[in-house]
Copies of this chain bind each other. A is one copy, B any other.
């Protein structure tokens, strides 16, 4: 996620890191080359009686824009849903810890252990979604035997959730909470289960690949042929207008593809590190533990991972 709140509109025109420009610069260069070819062979193909006018490209371009709008909608919905799920995790973690503090007699060690389980759940999910190794984070948060069990499981995040549930079950077995309270906290644990399952679903099920494929083909072919349609009117100005129109279409296509997997580490993805850090800070703060871990800061290109 790029965070750059107060940039003046004028400087935005020349911002390199915030946009997807780095990803499509090669294709834009190709477009310039096609424009130059178009200018060079223009007189020759004019003699063949071929008049490539803008009209069919206008029809095609607007149709592609409508389809690009659809795909961006689909990709953006996934991003919003993923962000909402992670937001719900923070909310639910707070609710569970608030209930523990309001319902049980004060027991700092138990609270600490239990909140560590919740924090481990967040970090483990982050590592699962980004396919990185959770060892370092889980090692500092979990007791040794549990750590070994989690690391050996093919579904580590779900196993942590199972232990959260078993811990609440133990409280009920020890008559520290009634069935009514068990069911109330269990609802919160089900919320965590929703977050886990929802993130796995988004991560495992992309937007149908054919959408990506059809759009990219038509966008690339459209941009490649565009200079030949523009050259009759624009002549030497062809490369400028052609690159401008191509930039509009290629960048929207590229951004839609980037947002499709909201759990990645590219510039427009969710800052899972920062969210996990916020969750950890919140849960520790609720127990008056200090000092809190320091907050995650964006890097020099204003990227927050």
Contact = CB atoms under 8 A, between A and B. Distances in A.
Interface stretch (A108-116, A119-127, A139-147, A244-252): A244-252
A273 interface: no
Contacts of A249: 63
B61 A169 contact: no
Interface string A196-236: 11101100011011111110111011000100001001111
A200 B87 contact: yes
Contacts of A161: 94, 98
A64 B248 contact: yes
Contact of A237 (B52, B103, B233): B52
B165 A210 contact: no
A189 B94 CA distance: 11
Nearest to A253: B9
A35 to B, nearest CB: 13
Interface string A151-166: 0011100110110011
Given A48-B235, A54-B56, 7 more contacts: A52-B233, A91-B194, A99-B186, A155-B281, A155-B282, A158-B285, A210-B251
* Nearest 9 A/B pairs, CB to CB: A102-B169, A91-B197, A63-B65, A87-B201, A2-B209, A54-B55, A179-B180, A208-B268, A98-B165
